[in-house]
Amino acid sequence: MKRANILLYNIGAVAVGLVISACLLLFLGVDPISVCGQTLGKILSDKYNVGEVLVKATPLIFTSLAFAFTYKANLFNIGAQGQFLMGSIVAIALSLALQDVVPTFLLLLLVLLGSFAAGAVVGGLIGAAKAKFSANEFLVSMMSTYVVTNFMDYLLRTSLQETKAEYMQTDAISSSAYLPNILPGTRVHLGFALAVVVAVLIWVLLNKTSLGFQIRAVGKNPSAAGLGGINAKAITIIAFLISGGLAGLAGLTEINGVQHMLLRDFNASIGSYGIGIAILANGNPIGCIFASILFGFLNIMGTTMGRLPGLSIPASIIELIEGIVMICVIISYAARYYMENRSEKRRMRKAGA
Amino acid sequence: MGTPAVELQHVTKCFAKVVANKDVSLTVNAGEVVALLGENGAGKSTIMKILYGLYGMDEGKILIRGEEVQIKSPADAMSRGIAMIQQHFSLVPTHTAAENIILGNVHGYIPIKEYEEKLKKIAQEHGFDVPMDRPVGQLAVGQQQKIEILKALYINTSILIMDEPTAVLTPQESDNLMQFIKNFAAKGNSVVFITHKMKEVMEVADQIVVMRNGVVVDKVRREETNEQALAHMMIGQDIVPPARTDSGEETGEEILRFENVSFQEKRGTALLQDISFTLHGGEIFGIAGVSGNGQDEVCDIISGVKRPTAGRLFFCGEDISQTSIRARNAAGIGYVPVDRYRDGMVMDMTLAENVLLKGCFDKKWINKGFIRERLLNKYTDEIIQKHRVKATGWSDMAGGLSGGNQQKLVLGREVDVGTRLLVFNQPTRGLDMGAVDRIHHVIMEEKAKKKAILLVSTELTEIFEMCDRIAIMHNGRFMGIYRNGELTTEQIGLLMAGVEEKKEAAQ
């Protein structure tokens, strides 16, 4: 019943956020109801557009899982962007080197492991800095993104640069290295299915295994966990390793699933969106799937709105909407807490009187 | 007698999970000492915090000197001459005594020397000897309490509330405090003091208000009652202390041995100095002392949270000075820590998960990395039944249980972990008498199973009731190890205060 309550509050908050956002359209001098109606119509009537929602959601599921995972250990990995880029670098390098050499299945498996490992190395270093030197993981993970970004730019200018050596980008990979499409008529690729499976696995890991239990125990009460013989430092490193690996997997889905090449400013904001989405989902891996789809949808809605003829709505309005929705959800947590407390208290008083 | 200084009428206060006070009415007259007696969790502190403006009330009225008032904050209370000394002092440890006392009552430029002089005068009037110019963090607890009292005197308090004032004091310091309370009341002031110790009540109180489960059970004059009657009122039933079976000589095998163990923090002062003792199976070894004299460090060193900086520690003949906590748990050392909120439990996890806390490496509960939930849940329900934990089942959140029930669950878990040695650090602190009774019985049962038991307690009655041998700690040192019955309360009090005894410690 409590879980149902959380869901109800979340849906309510999202709805309120969307209504407030719709009202903002009034400032642009357009009729919100008709604009939203048109936009929704356009998205829902076209299978391709619906597919795009899932395509956009795929990397967000991974980056939000990355944040949610360390969040359970009361650690903050805000460097998912950097771990994602490192995963992308390894994904493109492996794909370019091995495409047409090994069979597609084997190649994709290698890229999967490679991008996970790449993200995990970046994450693990942050975790190690935290465990060994009590470095502030917040700062280290944030700055690690800049390091990786510049490392990527360096590679794009040197060893990974396209054969034409004109732009800062790599060659496109051959179609044998693509993630297979799973919904004909759209761009939805196997990566989406992978993301959903991984989210479920992460849920199982956190709730059903000894390791997951240790991570949660350290997050909630490191002192009591320590007396249970749990090594909090090791848990910190492991949590960051897995978290980084999850973000790295987004490299696979974006390189082999969508973009098919690596270029400058590649998906520059999926790391930060991941943080918001994880908070929206209250750190629940399953919730991350749905929250990511919501954000994928908002994203497509923004682009579609911007393309509505004769209205000149800036596509950036969607960032505003995303922000408002997120604030509403966070407020709803506080509201729920307050309401539950109050009703409990009223019940007690009735029982006491 | 005129108008009463304070009158509370039909006060009710609910928290989210409990009714803390229900229809509480009480009267405090000028020049009177009122003792608020009751078990922990009876609602004594809550009612006084309402009077002091820390909590709002849901229903009821407060009358100060016959006039109905709204007390919304401690500032309101102070302006009406009410002061409260909390159980945990509210002093800034790095500030001097004088600075602490004037805190919140000064503005702009502060002529600190003048204040110090003024405060010294107030202190002398009441026979307090407190250095005004030293950081309070460096002072003894008894001194700190005097500063708290001076804070109240400085703002011309006429109604002084004290929450468990003697909990942290040695017997001698308590006597001084009682004397102060008598003198202070004799000048026409009122004192309310919250306690669960019958002895103090009988010593100084004029009126005794007994509370149980949030309601006032009875109000009596001291002359009309006695300790037995009060105890009965407090608990609502008679308590039978467990029969102590004296083990006589230490016949059991040696379980734990401290060899000249010392401990100090990096660049800190020594917290433990040269501690040596041996603990045998089937024996309860008590450590008495005012809290904060190194008892926690002894427990930490046994559990493995801290490593001795000198000396060695043997468990069943093996040197375990440097082994991990995990290895010690596996070897059969159970530990009930003093602060279960911090060290014993994870409050927003289920009871089953809290049981798993000590077993997350144990093959018994973990199968190929996965938790064997059905088994664990069943075992948790067994603990709940066996130790009479008031909970609906394994899926309850630990934080939703009362303190006594949380402690019973921790106890149930630890007695199974500690197959050979059990360490109890103030296991009954802050618990109601029903839970205390249950815990004492469990400790006796474990002793009968020939486990070695270390019991740290600040309550001398508990020490006398349970232990075979008693060590008294002061300032990180053992003042001596005695058989139970060798010392009187008086002598232990002196040792706790650090006064060396001439007689050689009998081993």
What's the DSSP call for residue A27? G
**Domain A59-315 belongs in CATH node 2.60.120:** no
pLDDT tops 70 at residue A131:
yes
Contacts for B479 with CB less than 8 Å, ≥ 6 apart: B471, B472, B473, B495, B496, B498, B500, B501
Number of domains composing chain B: 2
Instruction: Please check whether residue B437 lies inside any domain of the structure.
Output: yes
Span of A50-59, A203-212, B42-51, B102-111 with lowest mean pLDDT:
B102-111
The 3-state DSSP class for residue B422 equals strand
Contact criterion met (CB < 8 Å) for A214 and B15 = no
With CA atoms as reference, the chain B residue closest to A349 would be B14
Contact criterion met (CB < 8 Å) for B361 and A349 = no
Is B199 in the same domain as B285? no
Contact criterion met (CB < 8 Å) for B361 and A221 = no
Is B154 in the same domain as B260? no
Contacts for B230 with CB less than 8 Å, ≥ 6 apart: B37, B198, B201, B202, B208, B210, B220
Is B471 in the same domain as B422? yes
**Amino acid, res. A342:** R
pLDDT tops 90 at residue B20:
no
Q: Is B154 on the interface with A (CB under 8 A)?
A: no
Q: Which of the four pLDDT bands, split at 50, 70 and 90, describes residue B214?
A: confident
What's the DSSP call for residue A179? P
Q: Which of A213, A217, A220 sits opposite B371 (nearest CB)?
A: A213
Instruction: Please check whether residue B1 lies inside any domain of the structure.
Output: no
What's the DSSP call for residue B122? H
Measured distance CA(B426)–CA(B473) in Å, rounded: 14
Q: Which of A209, A228, A349 sits opposite B357 (nearest CB)?
A: A228
Is B419 in the same domain as B343? yes
* Residues of chain A positioned with their CB less than 8 A from the CB of B369: 209-211
Assigned token pair, B253: 């095998």
* Domain limit, last residue, from B235, B264, B288: B235
B485 in Cβ contact with B164 (< 8 Å): no
pLDDT at residue B503, rounded to an integer:
47
Mean per-residue pLDDT, A91-105 = 93
Instruction: Please check whether residue B392 lies inside any domain of the structure.
Output: yes
pLDDT at residue B505, rounded to an integer:
44
Q: Which of the four pLDDT bands, split at 50, 70 and 90, describes residue A320?
A: confident
pLDDT at residue B38, rounded to an integer:
79
Render pLDDT for B228-271 as a digit per residue (tens, 0 to 9).
Answer: 777 777 766 555 556 666 655 556 789 999 999 999 887 777 88
Is B209 in the same domain as B70? yes
State the DSSP H helix or E strand holding residue B477, giving kind and residue range, or none if neither.
strand B477-483
Radius of gyration of chain B (CA): 24
Measured distance CA(B366)–CA(B360) in Å, rounded: 7
| Average pLDDT of every residue of chain B | 86
Q: Looking at residue B83, which CATH number applies to its domain?
A: 3.40.50.300
Mean per-residue pLDDT, A226-234 = 93
State the DSSP H helix or E strand holding residue B20, giving kind and residue range, or none if neither.
strand B19-28
Q: Which of the four pLDDT bands, split at 50, 70 and 90, describes residue B332?
A: very high
Count of residues making up chain A: 353
* Residues of chain B positioned with their CB less than 8 A from the CB of A225: 346, 357
d(CA B427, nearest CA chain A) in Å: 16
d(CA A246, nearest CA chain B) in Å: 20
Q: Which of A209, A225, A345 sits opposite B369 (nearest CB)?
A: A209
d(CA A71, nearest CA chain B) in Å: 15
Mean per-residue pLDDT, A312-333 = 83
pLDDT at residue B504, rounded to an integer:
45
With CA atoms as reference, the chain A residue closest to B16 would be A345
Residue B229: phi, psi to the nearest 5? -65, -40
* Preferred mutation among B12, B19, B346 to probe A, highest tally of A CBs within 10 A: B346
Contact criterion met (CB < 8 Å) for B17 and A344 = yes
Contact criterion met (CB < 8 Å) for A208 and B371 = yes
Contact criterion met (CB < 8 Å) for B305 and A227 = yes
Assigned token pair, B269: 């002062």
Is B217 in the same domain as B90? yes
Is B103 in the same domain as B149? yes
What is the separation of C-alpha B226 from the centre of its chain, rounded to a whole number of angstroms?
25
B30 in Cβ contact with B184 (< 8 Å): no
Contact criterion met (CB < 8 Å) for B343 and A229 = no
pLDDT at residue A351, rounded to an integer:
60
pLDDT at residue A195, rounded to an integer:
97
- Report the percentage of chain B scoring pLDDT > 70: 94
| Average pLDDT of every residue of chain A | 90
d(CA B254, nearest CA chain A) in Å: 24
Contact criterion met (CB < 8 Å) for A213 and B361 = no
- Structural domain that includes position B50: 6-235
Q: Which of B22, B346, B369 sits opposite A210 (nearest CB)?
A: B369
Assigned token pair, B92: 């800034």
Q: Which of A213, A227, A351 sits opposite B325 (nearest CB)?
A: A227
Instruction: Please check whether residue B351 lies inside any domain of the structure.
Output: yes
Is B204 in the same domain as B275? no
* Residues of chain B positioned with their CB less than 8 A from the CB of A220: 346-349
Is B266 in the same domain as B170? no
Is B48 in the same domain as B128? yes
- Alpha carbons within 13 angstroms on the beta-carbon side of residue A189 total 22
Is B35 in the same domain as B166? yes
d(CA A193, nearest CA chain B) in Å: 25
| Per-range mean pLDDT, top range of A294-298, A306-310, B430-434 | A294-298
The 3-state DSSP class for residue B449 equals coil
| Per-range mean pLDDT, top range of A314-318, B355-359, B432-436 | B355-359
* Residues of chain B positioned with their CB less than 8 A from the CB of A73: none
Is B173 in the same domain as B211? yes
Assigned token pair, A125: 């270093």
pLDDT tops 80 at residue B143:
yes
Identify which of B248, B217, B243, B216 has the alpha carbon closest to the alpha carbon of residue B232: B217
pLDDT tops 80 at residue B61:
yes
